[in-house]
Structure 1
């Protein structure tokens, strides 16, 4: 039985925030001190490392579950299935539904339940639950859907990755410029054609790495000490990812039985352009090869880092011919790979 992706959809928010929109921000270090560089220099350094020129933010009236619902509708339509036939809805996110101006995330009920409600699915046997796995959450959801189908517990699953990170960023933190909003979704089902998950791998490093991404107070010493924002140790994450992700990808590839030369695209979490380039370079170096020039589609330049949404959104764009100079054809072998809070890593080798 071949299990694969039969439909995809994404929702890219309409509000465009460019790097120059941060020129008047007051950036502070974690100790509350100002930086030696002025904002134009800070922003230029930021762009040279991350590759981000602009990012997308959701409209105030749209919550994470709304973005997921909009992406899910498109995936269901693309797959040409009846929504009542879904056995599972898995929604990967990190912070729940966030309302601008409020300090708490809302996960009661789960975001997956909210999507099922918005889709008006009446079937009680369609089980809806959330996945909290950091940025690799969507891939992990696909891995779980694959397991459900393989075991006979399901025939069709909807896996969503969505986030509104613009509502948990500290405006005084330089890292706030990285994060963005969005959602992507996919239908996973037994497919009698070519599409097939060939292999997968997951890992959690939770000793000294556990709190590389964390929640903490604002960098502004006069700000509310009870409100928490997404924070990260960027250098440690970079070193961790460059060390562990290429090895995980290689292990996954070796288990698939596919040659490195057969890989057509690598869909990697859009966290940081320099980091992603380093990961790909090190991955190919394991096989004593140079990475092909067009192997890695990138959306981070205009969409920023929307966490769990980056890979399903990127895959949807390429699959539908909406990303210049990138395409995939039936039978192509691709790799999905991600790294994020936990610290978690995973990868899938997939024949499209």
Structure 2
């Protein structure tokens, strides 16, 4: 599959989204949608790497479902419906009134209307501690489980080798994640304490449930997840469904940060959906497919490690953001830094291995010495 075919749909959707943004908000709408798209891609590149590692385990049918149905869920569900649902759940407004509130913000960017009622942006921002607790715990569990798994390959060996030994302790990742949640909750405002703890436990529960079901189905049914006599077992049937569900929850956890961060640029739900969803999410999907088709994960051996370290950093940032505001620039740059460093380390390691192979080939054989 050529690069143009992989990214062609994303480019076409981007053009259409920018046209819609122009018709909706003029050139200012185009600029906002473009900025949000770039923001989503920069924040979610590590998401694309992790998606690719999971997508490689799925059958072609489930890969297509993820790239079609999954896109619709990512675009409409997480970037448009999810913020409205949060406002509905926290304020008691029905979805129609929540959308009306979003489309008609207070004048001059105020946080409240003249009658004292909160704006859409304020209501969603007020729910950030619970959102951050859920997403932070889910991503933290993903990071710790990867870090504690002794795969035989380490990137930051001085750190990862000792942590692999810690991972031998039963339920080590769950214990550490719960400890992190308790510490984060101590800094939450008193009126958010119960919500933070509840959301954090739900994030932990969701990870354990989806990850556990995926592993159980993949191991329990000898006919599930097989793709002939290939070396790589492809998940089909129930195993494919649970991997699909796992990817959607993972995407949701990543999108929390982007949706909240978008309000630093605009509170308009239409522009957020166009920028984060139609432009950003589509390109993240295309990057995911490219990584799978091009075999990038196999070529860059430490890329998966870098993505998980970026996830760990994002999880910590989300838990810290329960009490402190963390600039989106910091969040994005940390992810890019880990991905870039791991890619560079992979290139250096590949060149070192190639040099060793050349040196071995240059050694005289027994026959040539005689």
**Is TM more than 0.5 here?**
no
**Higher relative strand content:** 1
Higher relative contact order (CA 8 A, sep 6+): 2
TM-score (norm. length: structure 2): 0.24
**TM-score (norm: length of structure 1):** 0.25
Larger radius of gyration: 2
